[in-house]
Amino acid sequence: MKDKEILNSNEDYAIKENISPAVIKRLPRYFRYLRILMREGKTRISSAELSKRMNITASQIRQDLNCFGGFGQQGYGYNVSYLYARICELLGVGAGLQAVIIGAGNLGRALAKNEMFEKRGVDVVAIFDNNPELVGQKVNEIPIIHIDEFERYAATHTIDMAVLTLPKEYALEMAQRIADTDISGIWNFTSQELDSVEGDIIVENVHLGDSLMTLNYLIANKDK
């Protein structure tokens, strides 16, 4: 009899159309929790047990995963390593994605040193800046190149995303330069919204200040 714990990794699965942004934003949480489960040596888990760990309902977990084919077996639950592999595939981990960072200031250099890129399958290959004192240096073995070389570099290298960490007043202009290349996405750490950028480019705006203010609110109103 086929071991129920071994699921066919070559099995086809269908991704539903028009998946909500909320479901997509939860995928990285599944990635993190499943990685923890694998470190613990867990081989399978039910939606009920996973819901307790993630603090979302078991029904929501089943609905989320059903958007991508389900991945589970009734009465058994989910094979942890199989589900982790599928989530990795959906999130592009292992797809060999490459990124550049625009802005070699404190935030840009900190991101270049951060292990999150490597752990999520993204290779940062270059940093761009207009400061001649920084050009030619390396951060975590990543070369800093003058921003004037950006288009030439983008035309001769396969770049999937650009990480914006430059001052906000230059964000729109730089984002349009990026959109005019073959780069697919922008991870925007400036406080400038990039909704007006023209072209077929995906933008993910990150507002660190908003997250801080949310925490401020929760602390200020904790005992009210």
**Domains (ranges, CATH) in the chain?**
21-90 (1.10.10.10), 97-210 (3.40.50.720)
Read off the pTM.
0.85
Report d(CA 6, CA 215) in Å as an integer.
43
Read off the tokens for 25: 């934003």
Read off the tokens for 14: 């269908």
Cβ contact 129:147 at 8 Å: yes
Report d(CA 152, CA 146) in Å as an integer.
11
Using the structure block, give the residue that is written with the tokens 């925007």.
188
Q: What is the pLDDT along the chain (224 residues), one digit of tens a residue?
A: 233 333 333 345 567 778 899 999 999 999 999 999 999 999 999 999 999 999 999 999 999 999 988 676 666 789 999 999 999 999 999 899 999 999 999 999 999 999 999 989 999 999 999 999 999 999 999 999 999 999 999 999 999 999 999 999 999 999 999 999 999 999 999 989 998 899 999 999 999 999 999 999 999 998 87
CA distances from 29 to 6, 25, 35, 56, 148 (A): 24, 8, 10, 11, 38
